[in-house]
A and B are shown apart, each in its own frame.
Chain A
């Protein structure tokens, strides 16, 4: 836990630089996906707040991240956002929110990073209202063996460098945590995905 937090704090300094290319490529896909954000929104794994520029205006957002350094770096973007955005330092796997607190929960490249993605998704399900939506913009392991080989090899490096796993099956994890997939769109190959899920019965 401590090492994860330290790892995020360390990466925070170069986070915007490393994600610059992704934001250029994913901008329009994120804008389209984030149209689903409604009501009281929980933004899990805020990082430096890169995605806030793609959020629809005037939302009531609670933004959480494990790393204080990341949250500090998100300050400028959060202040520029037209709606309300409150930042809290919190572990996504054990949040301090009451059951059924949010209408929408949004994650961007978070479920590839948290220590236990199923526990994190179960926690999200707990704080999400039964009729709420989970919006995920995530990268997953490809079903193509060639692409999967690259991702599995690179995962050994990225795990140590920035605590990111490239070999996770987030769709399956979401289903295991009790979510039902509402929509599923591939953004790049079958690796980067825009997903909408609802709590299962």
Chain B
């Protein structure tokens, strides 16, 4: 996700536009992934994590891609960290809600 956004977002874009474009790219990419994964893992179980990750990783990576000093490995790491925390948040939110 972060790599795709990094490859698409031009580095000479301003940070805000990079964030918006990254978020949009992330959500479009996740739409395709959702169509592939949904028949195997369930619509909502796929939709919520994929779209939150797509939007947030896309926005973060889009923003970071406008910084010329950052290497693409750092952008991937940033995406992975965001993805990890989003997944953790959804997991604990689900545990809490299904037990309530």
Tell me the A residues contacting B by CB distance below 8 Å.
Answer: 17-22, 24-26, 139, 144, 146-147, 150-151, 153-154, 157, 185-192
* CA gap between A21 and B50 in the complex, in Å: 15
How many residue pairs at the A-B interface have CB separations less than 8 Å?
64
Closest B residue by C-beta to A188? B44
From 56 to 100 in chain B, residues with beta carbon under 8 angstroms from any chain A beta carbon are 90, 93-94, 97-98, 100
* CA gap between A22 and B42 in the complex, in Å: 4
Within 8 Å of chain A (Cβ to Cβ): is B47? yes
Specify which of A19, A147, A157 lies most central, judged by the most chain B CB atoms within 10 Å of its CB: A147
Interface of A, secondary structure class, is: helix
Contact in complex: A189, B93 (CB < 8 Å): yes
Contact in complex: B97, A21 (CB < 8 Å): no
Which stretch of B4-12, B13-21, B33-41 is in the interface? B33-41
Contact in complex: B51, A153 (CB < 8 Å): yes
Shortest CB-to-CB span from A162 to chain B, Å, is 10
- Write out the residue numbers on chain B whose beta carbons fall within 8 Å of the beta carbon of A151: 47
Which of A21, A144, A154, A157 touches B45 (beta carbons < 8 Å)?
A21
* CA gap between A19 and B46 in the complex, in Å: 12
Contact in complex: A186, B93 (CB < 8 Å): no
Contact in complex: B46, A189 (CB < 8 Å): no
Which of A22, A144, A147 touches B43 (beta carbons < 8 Å)?
A22
Interface of B, secondary structure class, is: helix
- Write out the residue numbers on chain A whose beta carbons fall within 8 Å of the beta carbon of B2: none
- Write out the residue numbers on chain A whose beta carbons fall within 8 Å of the beta carbon of B27: 153
Contact in complex: B97, A186 (CB < 8 Å): yes
Which of B44, B52, B90, B93 touches A139 (beta carbons < 8 Å)?
B44
Q: How large is the interface on B (under 10, 10 to 19, 20 to 34, 35 or more residues)?
A: 20 to 34
Which of A20, A139, A186 touches B40 (beta carbons < 8 Å)?
A20
Specify which of B42, B55, B94 lies most central, judged by the most chain A CB atoms within 10 Å of its CB: B42
Contact in complex: A190, B38 (CB < 8 Å): no
Contact in complex: B48, A191 (CB < 8 Å): yes
Specify which of B27, B31, B43 lies most central, judged by the most chain A CB atoms within 10 Å of its CB: B43
Which 10 pairs of residues, A with B, have the shortest CB-CB distance?
A: A21-B42, A25-B42, A150-B51, A22-B42, A186-B97, A20-B39, A21-B41, A186-B98, A190-B97, A21-B40
* CA gap between A76 and B39 in the complex, in Å: 21
* CA gap between A157 and B79 in the complex, in Å: 26
- Write out the residue numbers on chain B whose beta carbons fall within 8 Å of the beta carbon of A25: 41-42, 45
- Write out the residue numbers on chain A whose beta carbons fall within 8 Å of the beta carbon of B40: 20-21, 24
